[in-house]
Amino acid sequence: MALLEVRSLERSFGGLRAVGGVSFDAAEGLITAVIGPNGAGKTTLFNCITGTIHPDRGAVSFNGASVFRLPPHRIAARGISRTYQNLKLFTGMSVLENVMVGRHARSRSGTLAGMLRLPGARREERAVREESMRCLELLGIAHLAGADAVSLSFGQQRSVEFARALACGPKLLLLDEPAAGLNIHETAAVARLIQSIRGRGVTVLLVEHDMSLVMDISDHIVVLSNGQVIAQGGPRAIQKNPDVVRVYLGDDHA
């Protein structure tokens, strides 16, 4: 049984079938990539898995239990975390605070405990702070902890998002175009980072346009076109698959 199992997932916007019956698995401990041309439905698929939008039909099971149509915070509590293609950091908060919010699902102090600064809440707060600092160190941006998150460069903000997503200790990490807008060196660093995340036992599901990155690090690739899976398999098989070549390069090349 795979860690994440998506079955016949559908989601339409008006007359447009953004995701039209998608099925695939993300096996535990591996890097699975979802690729496809613009508008293939990749981000919608991500949003359906994380609960940001409601799928119309289908099934999503994670770790053996259904997460279909659960609200996003409950899906996060199950151990699914994500980053965004267009960064969504918390404005008006420091880098460290952004990452500490990432730990929300793994802490529990409530309103009264916070108001009264109960010893348990203070202890938990210290632990959250330490864990968040460790995530920043892992990303090599511990020195930016006190900086206003949205004042950073694009690449640094992306690192903050990574740290925030890792802070909750996810079993599955969804990365929406982690290399978008990065130069070759930064992309290589992201590739190393994703591999080291996998090395820590985290399963990775990745949407990415940078083909060399995808082919380098992925264990399994799912190709979407017009909301449908047109191929899946290992990087070599995908590179040779005539349907995939046709979708990306047009009929002449097939």
Partner 1 sequence: MKNHMPVMLLCAAVVALQLAFTLSGVGYYLTQLTMAAWYSLVVLGLCMLMGYAGQISLGHAAFFAIGGYTSALLTTINLMPFENSGPVAVGRTVGLVLHMVDPYGRQLLYINPWLALAVAVAVSALVALVIGTPVLKLRGHYLAMATLGFGVIIFHVILGTRGLGEADGISSVPPFVLFPGVTISGSRSVRVLNYYIAWAAVVGALLLLLNLVDSRIGRALRAIHGNEEAASAMGVDTARLKLTMFVVSAVMAAVGGACLTHFNGGIGPSEAGVMKSVRYVAIVAVGGMSNLWGALLFGVLLNFLSLRGYFGLYDDAVFGAILAAVMMFAPRGFLTVRLPGGIGKFLGRRGGRGPS
Token pair recorded at residue 9: 């997932």
Residue 91 near residue 142 (C-beta atoms within 8 A): no
Q: Does 86 participate in binding partner 1 (rule CB under 8 A)? A: no
Between 109 and 228, whose beta carbon lies closer to partner 1? 109
Residue 89 near residue 98 (C-beta atoms within 8 A): yes
Site for partner 1 in 108-137 (CB under 8 A): 109-111, 113-117, 121, 124-125, 128
Q: Does 67 participate in binding partner 1 (rule CB under 8 A)? A: no
> d(Cα 81, Cα 223) in Å, to the nearest integer?
22
Closest approach of partner 1 to the CB of residue 82, in Å: 6
Residue 231 near residue 243 (C-beta atoms within 8 A): yes
Between 131 and 210, whose beta carbon lies closer to partner 1? 131
Among 77, 189, 211, 230, binds partner 1 (CB under 8 A): 77
Question: What's the sign of the alpha-carbon dihedral 96, 101, 107, 109?
Answer: positive
Q: Does 234 participate in binding partner 1 (rule CB under 8 A)? A: no
Between 69 and 106, whose beta carbon lies closer to partner 1? 106
Q: From residue 44, how far is each of 67, 71, 110, 144 by CA, in Å?
A: 16, 16, 33, 32
Binding mask 11-50 for partner 1 (x = CB under 8 A): ---------------------------------------x
Stretch that binds partner 1, among 54-62, 77-85, 201-209, 220-228 (CB under 8 A): 77-85
Site for partner 1 in 159-198 (CB under 8 A): 164, 168
Between 113 and 245, whose beta carbon lies closer to partner 1? 113
Question: What's the sign of the alpha-carbon dihedral 234, 209, 51, 91?
Answer: positive
**How far is C-alpha 79 from the chain's CA centre?**
11
Closest approach of partner 1 to the CB of residue 65, in Å: 17
First to last CA, the chain: 35
Stretch that binds partner 1, among 31-39, 73-81, 206-214, 238-246 (CB under 8 A): 73-81
Among 27, 30, 93, 230, binds partner 1 (CB under 8 A): 93
Binding site for partner 1 (CB under 8 A): 50, 52, 71-73, 76-77, 81-82, 84, 88-93, 97-98, 100-102, 104-107, 109-111, 113-117, 121, 124-125, 128, 164, 168
